[in-house]
Amino acid sequence: MGKRQKVAVIGTGNWGLNHAKVYSRGELTELACIVGRTEEKAKVFANQFNVPYFTDINLMLNQIKPDLVSVALPGMKCYDTLMRLINEGVPIITEKPLTYEYDLADKLINEAQKKNVFFAINFMHRYSKPIQLARKAIQENKIGKMAFVVWKLGQYGVCRNHMYENLIETQCHGLDLLEYLCGEIESVQAEMTKISNRGLTTMGIVLKFKNGALGNYLGTYDAFETYRPSQYLEINGTLGCIHVEDYTKRYTFQSMGSEFMESWEAGIFNDLDKSILSSFDKHVNEVVHALIEKEKPPIGAESGARTLLLADKIIESFETGRRIRIL
């Protein structure tokens, strides 16, 4: 595959740290530098990995000349950085959400396409073992014609910076995975509550998919990750049913009418498939392969724009009390 790819990480928060760890241990990657907003924080962060640090993106691009820039900034603060990198023609992988506004995301996508910029987004949960097993079962028609889908994603949180932070920042994972597994969503109807006085922290959404299946989506910040399962997926069809628990914990399939089920759960020594972050490693490996082979990203930033479009329609449904079709 040639030389290891030099990767610059922009962002010095918790997810910036996860990005740095992935690239520093990758077989095809070399962590080249850290970029932060303040010198003090960037220096401390970079010293952990014995790499240089920058507070100026243009200076970093000129000196390091990275093969890939990995952006781990808050969704409300990444638009200018992403647009600057696109205008420089630099290959990018960014965290979700792409932005907080669909119109801005659309501008990023259009500019990247115009300049033919490699532009990936990290919806890493697609790479968890249970989700991959679920996708394989659906592709092999093991569940038959899809009838309904149930999704729950719960954790504790506060909508500090935006009233729809739960929807845009966190529930984008579920929206992306449901379309990845079940096909495009045709319409949405939503209710939300701020009963905890921490913003619109719980939402219930009725979905209709283009294939005719119905979906029931519950997304909440009024729970804890220690509640099990904190993430739950059921996909029910005319021939069988799939369950996924906590992204990486368990996958089961049961044929219609059978009292037996197939089940997967990581063994005691299988640390690779137990960890959510290992899904990031798998995604990055495919991203770097695609970059080297001059192919499209495995998950293009268009998927980030798509979840923002869905979020816009969910917000419209909640605010108007109507069922809203997706364009």
pLDDT in tens, 281-317: 999 999 999 999 999 999 999 999 999 999 999 999 9
User: Which CATH number characterizes residue 36's domain?
Assistant: 3.40.50.720
Whether residues 231 and 294 share a domain: the answer is: no
pTM: 0.95
pLDDT digits (tens, 9 = 90+) for 166-178: 999 999 999 999 9
Residue 222 Cα distances to 169, 195, 199, angstroms = 15, 9, 10
Whether residues 208 and 143 share a domain: the answer is: yes
User: Which CATH number characterizes residue 224's domain?
Assistant: 3.30.360.10
Helix (H, G, I), strand (E, B) or coil at 167: helix
Whether residues 165 and 244 share a domain: the answer is: yes
Q: How many domains does the chain have?
A: 2
Whether residues 167 and 102 share a domain: the answer is: no
Whether residues 34 and 11 share a domain: the answer is: yes
Whether residues 315 and 171 share a domain: the answer is: yes
Helix (H, G, I), strand (E, B) or coil at 201: coil
Phi, psi of 317 (to 5 degrees): -65, -45
**pLDDT lower than 50: segments of the chain:** 1
Whether residues 233 and 215 share a domain: the answer is: yes
Whether residues 184 and 316 share a domain: the answer is: yes
> Count of H helices and E strands in the chain?
11, 15
pLDDT digits (tens, 9 = 90+) for 92-131: 999 999 999 999 999 999 999 999 999 999 999 999 999 9
Task: Say what the pLDDT of residue 283 is.
Answer: 97
Task: Say what the pLDDT of residue 277 is.
Answer: 87
Whether residues 313 and 190 share a domain: the answer is: yes
Domain span at residue 10? 5-124+278-300
Instruction: State the DSSP string of 129-150.
Output: HHHHHHHHHHHTTSS-SEEEEE
Whether residues 270 and 284 share a domain: the answer is: no
Whether residues 145 and 216 share a domain: the answer is: yes
Whether residues 258 and 290 share a domain: the answer is: no
Task: Say what the pLDDT of residue 198 is.
Answer: 92
Task: Say what the pLDDT of residue 2 is.
Answer: 58
